[in-house]
Amino acid sequence: MRHARDRALRRFAANRGALVGAALVALVVAIAVLAPVIGGRDPVAADIDHGLTTMGAPLPPHGGEWLGTDQLGRSVWSRIAHGAGISLLVALASTAIALTVGLVVGLIAGYAGGTTDAALMRMVDLFLAFPFLLLAILLAALLRQAGIASGTAPVFITLGAVSWTTMARVIRGKVLSLRERDFVQAARAMGASTARILARHLLPNVGGVVIVLATLGFAQMILAESVLSYLGLGPPPPTPTWGRMLYEGRSYYQTAPWLIAVPGVAILITVVAFNLLGEGLRDAFDPKDRR
């Protein structure tokens, strides 16, 4: 086990794309964590007197505000920095929910087989029959209509509830190949319970797959949260989220293009970073799965 981990680390270290992704992820995380220190002024505090031109237009990037201000005179840099924390928090919580559900369903379906496997996979097929974002938008709208859409909790619950299916399928496939291995057969012959086999023998052997799925899922969650926020189904204003910043800046794309360029680039860099990291982890843990 230790030798396999060492080989995976060496393969990861030799992957330049993975290292770039890891560095960018570390940068985004650092900005999110240090946002109260490096973010400058309050991200939701409007400053009409000093944050707008004499004509009431947003200020372009300059010495005092190197990313400019928005239509209410708020600091774009401050909103981007604090928005990073919101995006990462939502992505982390939703990925944890999706991974937990997908892991449980995948382990049970792959190990049990037969009718149990068929029933669980039909449930997965039912969820996959609807486009991911469409289902997320529908569920988020229902939560908002029910009056429980305040804060970030409904957002990550929505995303976690509709994104576990791919994880369940991949983990099930891995377990199907593991359950016939000698160490599983030996544990079964020695009278080990199903719960013990799942927890002690199968779960540790799907750890690499879980890490890869979580990293790639993280990128998907950040993008999905931005879409929901853009549509007005994310955290309510004035919470600084990248998707809402895109929505609010859409009317100023000609006069103040930085209002859409800055959050757009932030989303792009973060999604690409997590995808590069996830691809690097996949190649490190399972080099046979290179594409």
With beta carbons less than 8 A apart as the criterion, state whether 65 and 74 touch.
no
> What stretches of the chain show up as alpha helix (H) in DSSP?
2-13, 16-33, 35-38, 76-112, 114-128, 132-145, 153-162, 165-178, 182-189, 194-196, 207-230, 242-249, 258-285
**Is the pLDDT score of 291 beyond 50?**
no
Quick one: pLDDT at residue 171? Answer: 93
The Cα–Cα gap between 111 and 187 comes to 13
- Give the per-residue pLDDT at 162: 87
pLDDT mean over 33-57: 87
pLDDT score, position 148: 62
Rounded to whole angstroms, how far apart are CA atoms 252 and 200? 56
CATH 1.10.3720.10 for domain 2-36+74-289, yes or no, is yes
User: Which has the closest alpha carbon to 111: 183, 191, 177, 186?
Assistant: 177
Under 8 Å between Cβ of 188 and 151:
no
Distance, in Å, from the CA atom of 30 to the CA atom of 208, rounded to the nearest integer, reads 25
What pLDDT is stored for residue 113 in this prediction? 86
- The CA distance from 198 to 111, in Å, is 8
Q: Quote the pLDDT of residue 4.
A: 61
Q: Bridge-partner residues for 253, per DSSP?
A: none
Report residue 161's pLDDT band, with 50, 70 and 90 as the boundaries: confident
**Which one, of 47, 50, 61, 49, lies nearest residue 257 by Cα?**
61
Mean pLDDT, the chain, as a whole number?
86
Supply angle C-alpha 254, 259, 262, rounded to 5: 120
Highest mean pLDDT among 1-5, 148-152, 264-268, 277-281 belongs to: 264-268
* Banded model confidence at residue 234, pLDDT cuts 50, 70, 90: confident
Tens of pLDDT, residues 166-192? 899 999 999 998 888 888 888 888 888
Q: What confidence score (pLDDT) does residue 257 get?
A: 93
| Contact present, 161 and 139 (Cβ < 8 Å) | yes
Residue 65 to residue 62: CA distance in whole angstroms? 5
- Report pLDDT for 177: 87
Ranges of each domain in the chain: 2-36+74-289
pLDDT value at residue 290 = 46
Looking at the chain, the whole-number percentage of residues with pLDDT higher than 90 is: 38
Q: What is the pLDDT of residue 1?
A: 52
**CB 94: neighbour CB atoms within 10 A?**
29
What confidence tens digit (pLDDT) does each residue in 96-118 have?
999 999 999 999 999 988 899 99
Q: What φ, ψ does residue 69 adopt, rounded to 5°?
A: -125, 165
**Bigger pLDDT: 282 vs 222:** 222
More confident residue, 266 or 15: 266
